[in-house]
Homo-oligomer: A and B are copies of this chain.
Amino acid sequence: MKIYRANVLFTLTPKELNVLEHGYVVVGDDGNVIDTCQTLPERYATEPVIDFGDQLLMPAMNDLHVHAPQYRNHGIAMDMELLPWLNTYTFPEESKYRDLKYAERMYRRFVHDLWSVGTMRAAVFATIHPEATCLLADLLHEAGMGGMVGLVGMDRNGSETLSNTAEEAVAGTKQLIEHTAQMPLVSAIVTPRFVPSCTPEMMTALGQLAKEYQLPVQSHLSENRSEIAWVKELEPESTCYGDAYLRYGMFGQTPTLMAHCCYTEGEEFELMRQNHVFAVHCPTSNCNLGSGIAPIRRFLEAGIPVALGSDVSGGSGFSIFKVMQYALQMSKLKWLYTDHQDQFLSLSEVFYLGTKLGGSFFGKVGSFEPGYAFDALVVDDAQLNFDNYSIQHRLERYIYLGDDRQLTHRFCQGREIKLKE
């Protein structure tokens, strides 16, 4: 058992931030929270306390949409919208991952950068290459971090050097399932790239795989208008883009992440709601690629779960705190452009999305309630807190102004994670 003392911050619900000034979190040997309390109960009186002083202690970040093999391209090449961007920059870069040495060099940096900004669990797109994808799982596992890793299926509209068959995608994913079987925090996720990249054969095969192994699914949905029009052409029998996943068993039949959903409405919206499909909000990426602003307020009001994603390298950085900043800012533009119909998001709401709601995809992750995994960050914001700000304002300042320099400790499933570049 470990007992931590600090200014504890977390969100039980999206409505408010729970703040325990100089409170306690008691963590069991299994890495799960036993108790979170303002005053330490008598029964712990003889236990040693690890005191983080005036620092902040909060749940770690969950990144529910990120492309590890786009690592080299993050922070460059954002002068095109989605479809030409994929062909010009992204597919050529991903095709390099057949080279395991290149993959290792980049994936080590990727894992380090996630860690650096306080992301302890991520849903990750890898590439079509089984060896490199298993290696990525290894690196996350070795670091002690959690995640779901997807071997990408893509058998049309890619490039000669970046394409696999349905059989290869299934075999590669099975290899990954086996490879990660003994990893407590890392597992496989079925990953059709997106409808334009996947023939009916690919979709059928991956849908069956998801069903057979009861695996979760991740993909992209309604990110960009040209993409949506293209899907309509490619899949005339589908009633909407979402339906093109649903028909193959990959739209909530098992837990499902759909990144972007900028233009989800009508039937697709209703299908997401009925099937409890996660919308992964990637506002930085949606700005960088000129995609649009997802209707997050409407999703939340309808009970559609929303997580946050960095979407590197459409997104330009890994920090989910910065994604929270963009989620707040974009929600204000959405509010403006919907004539104030879609009320903008609050600080506690975006924090809830990045921690507890995003974390729920991994199980009991993202809160400090009893039974939750102790995934946590300790933040020394003394430099930012020069004038006695409230704890809530300290969190807000950390989100807007902070970076990796203030993160002094990072925990995943109770274990402190220390990485060097």
Binding site for B on A (CB under 8 A): 72, 74-79, 109, 284, 287-293, 316-317, 325, 328-330, 332-333, 335-337, 344, 346-347, 384, 386-387, 389, 393, 396-397, 399-401, 403, 405
Contact = CB atoms under 8 A, between A and B. Distances in A.
Given A347-B79, A403-B403, A289 B397 contact: no
A288 B333 contact: no
20 contacts: A74-B400, A74-B401, A75-B384, A75-B399, A75-B401, A76-B389, A76-B393, A76-B396, A77-B396, A78-B396, A284-B329, A287-B333, A290-B336, A290-B344, A291-B336, A292-B333, A293-B333, A316-B400, A403-B403, A405-B405
A407 to B, nearest CB: 14
Contact of A333 (B72, B333, B346, B401): B333
A325 B325 CA distance: 14
A417 B121 CA distance: 42
B76 A287 contact: no
A290 B332 contact: yes
Contact of A288 (B72, B289, B290, B332): B332
A221 to B, nearest CB: 18
A397 B109 CA distance: 16
Contacts of A76: 389, 393, 396-397, 400
User: How many copies of the shown chain assemble into the complex?
Assistant: 2
Nearest to A394: B76
A346 B78 CA distance: 9
Given A317-B400, A333-B333, 14 more contacts: A75-B384, A75-B396, A75-B399, A75-B400, A75-B401, A76-B397, A78-B328, A284-B329, A288-B329, A290-B335, A291-B336, A316-B325, A316-B400, A317-B401
